[in-house]
Structures are given as structure tokens and as C-alpha cells.
Amino acid sequence: MLATFVIGLREGLEASLIVGVVAAFLVQRGQRRALRFVWTGVVAAVLLCVGVAAALQAATRSLPQRQQEQLETVLALVAVAMVTWMVVWTTRHARTMRTDLEASASSALARGTSWALVAMAFLAVLREGLETSVFLLATYQASGSNAQGALGASLGIALAVVLGYLLYRGGIRLDLARLFRATGVVLVLVAAGLVMSAAHTAYEAGWLLAGQQEVLDLTAVVTPGTVRSALLTGVLGWQPRPTAAELIGWVVYLVPMLAVVLRPRTPSAAPQRVGA
């Protein structure tokens, strides 16, 4: 649940920030009538993402066992690639995100009509929504708990929407760099777990045959049905008896990514604020 909560919060906040900047610009330019088209675009993007997620879930269930393992491996690796790009990008641009968004919105508005901003909001929600769909599906498959995962994701997205609205209204100040660093650490841990899960399903799919000797026995710690097991398996992706391939994949991904996220950076002058 913690993993999907952070995923929903992180992805939802990025989309909320973009939509909030677009809405603020339309209000400032006296084009409130265009807001309904923005919300229409947002709803359409959300529905499209839900449809893609449902199709992927149905496709996974309808395949034979080996093909399911192959698809799960591919989805896990795609999710890892997506979260890696997202974490690296936001780590580098978190401090200038508001300024960059306002510049993009101003440029879009200067090119002619508010439809460019509508498209900007639609594509932002669509991109974040598709990333969320793939990442959540891969996380569900790794943890085996769809109900708790869906609840965590829903709570994260709901909090992201509230924060996005408050930022848009100017009701709060939020240090995006610190927030994205904290959530980035959790997402890196989740992604490392997906690497481990991908190594496991790749063996089940017949794709990875090397390094299958067991190197640890965690059955005393990863006990099915316990909160500790849910944390280690659902968030960190640990197996009761990880193999060499799984452990190597986890370490090789985790160490450099944590170094990227936790690397000290020059403090910003003030927390970012989005206001109407």
C-alpha cells in the first residue's frame, strides 16, 4: 500500500501542477471559458489511462502461465525504465519546475489560442496516467495485493489533487525539491524491488537461467501474512529465498539510483509556489 500511495502521490502531483499552471494562466488572461475544455481534456485523459490499465490487466489474465510471466517481466522492466526517467528528471528540475511550466504555458498562449494549453493539460495527464498505470500494474503483480494497492494509489492521487489545488490557489508553500527527493527514495526502493521481481519472473518465463542459486534464506523474516512480509515483498520486492541474479539486479539498480537522488544540491532560495 505504501508503494502505490507514493506512486499515486508522485505522478498525480506532477499532473496536478501542470494542470494548475494552465488553469492559472487561463484565469489571469481572462479566458475562464476555456477552463471547461481543460477539464474535459483531463477527464478524457484519465478515462483513456483507465482503459489502458484495464486492457493490460485483462491481457495478463488471459494468457497462459508462461506468457503471463513473460508479460509481467516486460511490464516490470518498462515500469523500472519509466520511474528511472521520472526520478532523474524531477531530481534535476524540481527547483525550476514552476518557472519552466509557466514559461511553457506562456509560450503556448503566445502562439495563438488557449487550445494549446488544453492540449498541454491533456498530454500531461495522459503521460503521467500511462506511467502510473504501467507502474501500478507491475507493482500489483509483484506484491499480489490488488485491493490494498488500489487503495494506496487512490489515496495518493487524492492527496496530490488536493495539494495541486492548494498550490494553484496559493494556499500553501511546498518545497518540491525536498518532496520529490523523499518520494524519489521510496520509488527507487520500489523500482529496485521490481528489478528483483523481473529477474524472478524472467526465470519462470525461461528467459533468465543464469544465477539461479539461492544466496539468502529470508523465510524467517519474509513470513507470509505478516505486516513485515507485506512491507518487504510489497514495497521492496524481496523474495523469501532470493537468488544471485535477483540480488545482483537489486544492488546494481539501487546503489547508483540512491546516489543520484540523495546527491547534495544547491539550496533553492524559497519553496516553489503556484498561485492563481
pLDDT, tens digit (0-9, with 9 covering 90-100), for 51-73: 887 887 777 777 777 787 888 88
For residue range 124-155, what is the model confidence (pLDDT) as tens digits? 788 877 777 777 777 666 555 556 666 777 78
Region 76-93 average pLDDT? 81
Q: Are the C-beta atoms of 171 and 126 separated by less than 8 Å?
A: no
Residue 271 lies in a domain: no
Given pLDDT bands bounded at 50, 70 and 90, which one contains residue 16? Answer: confident
Q: Are the C-beta atoms of 250 and 237 separated by less than 8 Å?
A: yes
The residues with which 214 forms a beta bridge, in sequence order, are 243
Give the Cα separation of 275 and 83 in Å (integer).
28
Residue 202 lies in a domain: yes
Domain extent, residue 178, equals 2-262
Residue 24 has pLDDT above 70, yes or no: yes
For residue range 87-123, what is the model confidence (pLDDT) as tens digits? 887 777 766 666 776 677 667 666 656 677 777 778 8
Highest mean pLDDT range out of 66-70, 76-80, 121-125, 182-186? 76-80
Q: What are phi and psi of 262, to 5 degrees?
A: -90, 0
- In terms of Cβ atoms closer than 10 Å to its own Cβ (0-12, 13-18, 19+), residue 62 is exposed
Residue 106 lies in a domain: yes
Give the Cα separation of 102 and 276 in Å (integer).
12
* pLDDT value, residue 78: 86
Residue 237 lies in a domain: yes
* pLDDT value, residue 51: 85
| Cα radius of gyration rounded to whole Å, the chain | 20
Give the Cα separation of 131 and 86 in Å (integer).
9
For residue range 214-272, what is the model confidence (pLDDT) as tens digits? 887 777 776 666 666 666 666 676 777 888 998 899 899 999 999 888 887 655 444 44
If one counts the domains in the chain, the total is 1
Would you give the DSSP letter of residue 273?
Answer: -
Work out the angle between the directed axes of helices 115-143 and 176-204 (0-180°, nearest 10). 50
